[in-house]
Chains A and B, each alone.
Chain A
Amino acid sequence: MDLRKPRLDRVTLCKQGITSDDLFKAIDQRGSDLGNKQRNDSQPEFKEIRQLTIEARARRWSPARDIPWNSIRALPPDIESSISQICTTFLQFANTDLAILIKWLSKIDYATQVEKSFLITTVFDTARRFAAFQHRAVVSGEDVASTPTSHMCQYLLEIDSWLEALTSLCLLRGLFELTVFEYLSRHSYNVAERILYSNVIQDIARFLSYGLVSVRDYNAKNAHTKRNVCSIIEKGLKEFRLDLRVSSFRESLATIFAGGRGSKKSNGLSIFNEMVQVHIERLQKTLTWLDMRISTTELLDQTDNTL
């Protein structure tokens, strides 16, 4: 039954043989596009979400108080400008995440307060991430660099279903960010960066824990939605490939990993390629866990050694 059709009164419904049960089913179906109906706060999965909310509040951090910014010493200009460039990219990611979360928060049913509360903590986490990377970008006197608009960000903003947006945020954005932050942590230049990346990793992991469990539970109940989500992810992977080709992103990370430009850059690029490989392996494992059959082998083409 399609609820988008014009108003139906009770007499018309009776004439068409539609019962109130059919009507409620249709409303449930429509509500479930927001990923929240067919659930209520007493269901077991909400216990986990409630725990995540408590955890988010208890483990929150402050960029001003918890990051020792004064541990940052002057770095060679090429490294500093690369860090500034990559921080700007993370600003763009955080901005997009915020826009998506805020767009859908207002549409999620108030009956599922637990989910709403958790997503609000995620909004705070993302805003904190934005503030922290903005500060890191300019702390050594560099300006916030200009960065090309990410294909993936545009793609995420255009998705018009919460479940699809959530899946894409987790699988296309979150998992990749985690791997990048792990590698940046390995190649960080001071204590401030190490603590910053560690804190961001725990925030993103918390959101992914919520997202992946929600997607798995939902997919288990709705085969047709699962197919839609799979096709959204497949399209998203193409955008991801385009983003990997952006030279400023590759070059900035390669410079940070190698500790400078020039002859060291090829070494940095091989670390970048290793990072992409690690990400693809993790993505494939996660897709298998979600029982989503999507091939990621095309992404391996991106691990060439040219800029």
Chain B
Amino acid sequence: MTDFAWLKSTVAEVNNSTSYRDFGPANILVGFRSETNCRIVEFKSVWVSSNDDAEVTDILDKVDVLISMSTKQWKFYLRRRVSGKSPSILVFNLRNNVLEFASPMNYLKFLRFHRSVQAFLDIGCRLYK
């Protein structure tokens, strides 16, 4: 099982969720990276339109924000998030530097849609096994 197997079921769950749509439209490409795996998830309007495999190299140029953690850190974050012990990914970044951006504009783009990305992760952490 790859590190990001939970993303597939999360996308389906998010697209069925009315509470996710309450955050409003989001248009952003988010990269998820662990040591060996890489996925690009596309947020488009009030849906998540795709969830594709990607090459680890040069991924930062292809996405607006890259969330990069080791497999162990992903497990730690998602497990603790579901029990309410982990903060949002934005705050988690302040001490752990898990977010990477190609330019300051990408950083701002992430901040504009961070609530939608967080809602996606919150649904994902419930489905994570």
Q: Mark B106-122, 1 if CB is under 8 A from A, else 0.
A: 01110111110010000
Nearest first, the 5 closest Cβ-Cβ pairs linking A and B are A205-B111, A59-B24, A58-B24, A186-B91, A286-B104
Using Cβ atoms and an 8 Å threshold, which residues of chain B touch A117? Answer: none
Indicate with 1 or 0, residue by residue over A186-228, a CB within 8 angstroms of chain B CB atoms: 1000000010001101101110110011000000000000000
A59-B23, A286-B104, A289-B104 in contact; A205/B112 too (CB < 8 A)?
yes
State whether A55 touches B24 (Cβ < 8 A). yes
Contact check, A182 vs B105: say whether CB atoms are below 8 A apart.
no
How far apart sit A198 and B112, CA to CA, in the bound complex (Å)? 9
The chain B residue with its CB closest to the CB of A208 is: B108
In Å, the complex CA distance between A285 and B111 comes to 16
Complex interface bits, A111-129 against B, C-beta within 8 A gives 1, otherwise 0: 0000000000000000000
Are B105 and A212 in contact, CB atoms less than 8 angstroms apart? yes
With a cutoff of 8 Å between Cβ atoms, the chain A residues found around residue B109 in the complex are: 205, 209
Tell me which residues from 61 to 75 in chain A have a Cβ below 8 Å from any Cβ of chain B.
Answer: none
* Interface size classification for chain A: 20 to 34
Closest to B92 in A: A186
**By CB atoms of chain A within 10 A, which of B90, B103, B111 has the most?**
B111
Query: Is A172 located at the chain interface by the 8 A CB criterion?
Result: no
List the B side residues contacting A194 at CB < 8 Å: 88
Q: Check: A99 CB closer than 8 A to any chain B CB.
A: no
Indicate if B5 sits at the interface (CB-CB under 8 A): no
The reply to whether the CB of A261 lies closer than 8 angstroms to some CB of chain B is no
User: From residue B116, how far is it (CB to closest CB) to chain A in Å?
Assistant: 9
Answer whether residue A183 sits at the interface, using C-beta atoms and an 8 A cutoff. Answer: yes
Chain B 19-46 interface 0/1 with A at a Cβ cutoff of 8 Å (1 = within): 0000111010000000000000000000
Q: Are B111 and A278 in contact (CB under 8 A)?
A: no
Determine if B105 and A209 form an interchain contact, defined as CB atoms under 8 angstroms apart.
yes
Q: Is A185 a contact of B91 with CB atoms below 8 Å? A: yes
Interface size grouping (class) on chain B: 20 to 34
Q: Would A202 and B103 count as touching, CB distance under 8 A?
A: no
Chain B residues contacting A208 (CB-CB under 8 Å) are 108
Q: Check if A178 is an interface residue, CB within 8 A of chain B.
A: yes
A282 within 8 A of B: yes
Q: B68-106, CB under 8 A of A: which get 1 and which 0?
A: 000000000000000000011011001000000001110
Min CB gap B7→A, angstroms: 23
22 cross-chain CB contacts under 8 A: A54-B25, A55-B112, A185-B87, A185-B91, A186-B87, A186-B91, A194-B88, A198-B114, A201-B111, A201-B114, A204-B111, A205-B108, A205-B109, A205-B112, A206-B108, A206-B112, A209-B112, A212-B108, A213-B105, A282-B104, A286-B104, A289-B105
Inter-subunit contact A202/B104 (CB<8 Å): no
Extra inter-chain contacts (20) besides given A59-B23, A182-B90, A285-B104, CB under 8 Å: A58-B24, A58-B25, A59-B24, A59-B112, A178-B111, A183-B94, A186-B91, A186-B94, A194-B88, A198-B115, A202-B112, A202-B114, A204-B111, A205-B108, A205-B109, A208-B108, A212-B105, A278-B94, A282-B104, A289-B105
- Complex formed: what's the CA distance from A215 to B113 in Å? 22
Contacting pair A209 B91 (CB below 8 A): no
Separation of A209 and B105 alpha carbons in the complex (Å): 6
Distance between Cα atoms of A13 and B113 in the complex (Å): 54
B118 to chain A: which residues have CB within 8 Å? 198
- Nearest-Cβ distance from residue A292 to partner chain B, whole angstroms: 12
Q: How far is the CB of A106 from the nearest CB of chain B, in Å? A: 27
Which chain B residues in 54-75 approach chain A with CB under 8 Å? none
Query: In the complex, what residues of B have CB within 8 A of residue A58's CB?
Result: 24-25
Contact between A182 and B112, CB atoms less than 8 A apart: no
Chain B residues with CB under 8 A of A278: 94
A185: contacting residue among B24, B25, B90, CB under 8 A: B90
Q: Are B104 and A55 in contact (CB under 8 A)?
A: no
What residues of chain B lie closer than 8 Å to A198, measured between beta carbons? 88, 90, 114-115, 118
Identity of the chain B residue whose Cβ is nearest the Cβ of A275 in the assembled complex: B94
Nearest CB in chain B to that of A175: its residue: B104
A206 CB contacts on chain B under 8 angstroms: 108, 112
